[in-house]
Structure 1
Amino acid sequence: MARRELPDLAAMEAFGAAIAGQLRAGDVIALEGGLGAGKTTLARAIIAALGYPHEVPSPTFTIIESYDAPPLSLPVVHADFYRLERPKEVEEIGLDDYREGAALIAEWPQNAGGFAHEPACLSITLETAGKGRIATVKGAADWLGRMP
C-alpha cells in the first residue's frame, strides 16, 4: 500500500497519466472515497491520458459509459455505481458484456460488490487534504511491479 499526495489538478492529471501508462485490458481501477473526493476527476485524467480528446461526462446517471479504441489506445468502461442499491444490479445492467477486452474504471465499487478479489484490480481511495487530495493505492497481484 502506498500513499500519494495530489496537491492540485496537475498532480491528479499526472497520476492519471501514470495509471493510464500501465493499464491493460482486464484491469480494474476501483476508485473509492466520499462525495467530492476526486474519483471522477481521476477517471477523466486516466481516460484523457489514453487519448480521448473530448469531455468525459460523469456516469452517475447513465451508470456506464464506454470508450472505444481508437481514439483510445485501449477500450475503457467508466462506471459509477453510486446509484446501485444492491450488488446484484451489476448483472442486470450487463457489466460483464461491457468489460470484454476493456479496462474498467469503477467509482463506488463497493456498491457493485467490490473488485478487490480480482487479480488485476488497483484500488485507490481518495480523500481531501486541504485543497488537494491524498490517494491511498493498493494493487492486487497483477499490479505488483507496475503500480504508479
Structure 2
Amino acid sequence: MKIESQCDATTQAIGEKLAKLFQYGQVVALHGNLGAGKTVLSRGIARGLGITEPVTSPTFTVAQEYKTPDGHWLYHLDMYRIDDEMAAIAFGVEDYLTNRNAIALVEWPERISRLLGGNSCIVVTISHLDEETRELDLPDALGEKLLQIGLPEGARVIEP
C-alpha cells in the first residue's frame, strides 16, 4: 500500500501510528535514497513508543539505542558506512536484530539483506515525490492496519 505524506510533520505522525502496530522482536527495513525521510519516520516511531529524547541519524555512529518507558528498546541502525555483511557481523549487528525486547529500525538494509532473512522483517520504502511530499510504500497488511487506526492529517492513500 502506498501512502502520501505532505510534509515531515505528517511523516512523523505516520511513524507514531506505525509504532503502535509494531511488536518487540521485529526488524523494520527502511529503504530510501539520502534525504528520503527514513530518520524522520524513525523519529515518529520513537515518539509513538514514548521516547522523548531527540532521535538523530545514526550515520556516523552506526547504531543509536533508545529505552522505552516500559523498559524495552528501540534500535536505530544505519548501515550506510558498513562495507559488507562481515563488517556488520563484526560490529555486532546480529545482537540488535535478534533482541526480542527491541524493535530494530535499519536504514540502508540492502547492505545486510542476508542477515535480515531469518527475522520477522517489515519492509518500508520511502521516496521523494517533490521537495516536501513523500511516498511510503508499506506491506499491504501493515497498511490495512494503519488505515484501521486512521491516517494522520496530511496523509492519504495513493495506491491501495
**TM-score when normalising by structure 1:** 0.85
**Residue aligning to 2:95:** 97
In 2, distance between residues paired with 1:106 and 1:40? 10
The alpha carbon displacement at 1:10 in A equals 2.6
CA-CA distance at 1:138 after TM superposition: 2.2
Matches within 5 A, 1:26-105: 26-70=25-69, 74-99=72-97, 100=99, 101-105=101-105
Question: Which of 1 and 2 has greater Rg?
Answer: 2
Q: Which has the bigger relative contact order, CA under 8 A and spacing at least 6?
A: 2
Cα gap change, 1:41 to 1:115, in 2 (>3 Å): farther
How large is the RMSD of aligned CA atoms in angstroms? Answer: 2.2
**Distance in 2 between residues matched to 1:97 and 1:117, nearest whole Å:** 15
In structure 1, stretches of 5+ residues that fail to align are none
Deviation of 1:113 (Å) = 2.3
Partner of 1:127: 127
Give the CA deviation at 1:84.
1.0
CA distance in 1, matches of 2:41, 2:128: 13
Question: C-alpha separation between the residues in 2 aligned to 1:145 and 1:33?
Answer: 18
**Distance across 2 between alignment mates of 1:147 and 1:112:** 28
**1 CA distance for matches of 2:4 and 2:109?**
22
Once residues 39 and 145 of structure 1 are traced to their aligned partners in structure 2, the CA distance between those partners, rounded to angstroms, is: 17
Give aligned-pair identity as a percent: 31
In 1, distance between residues paired with 2:144 and 2:12?
A: 18
Total equivalences in the alignment? 143
SS at 1:14's partner residue? helix
**Cα deviation digits, residues 102-129 of structure 1 (max 9, x gap):** 1100000001225663452211111101
Q: Which amino acid aligns with 1:30?
A: A
Q: Report the CA distance shift for 1:118/1:53 in structure 2 as closer, same or farther (over 3 A).
A: same
Aligned to 2:139: 138
Q: TM-score, normalised by structure 2?
A: 0.79
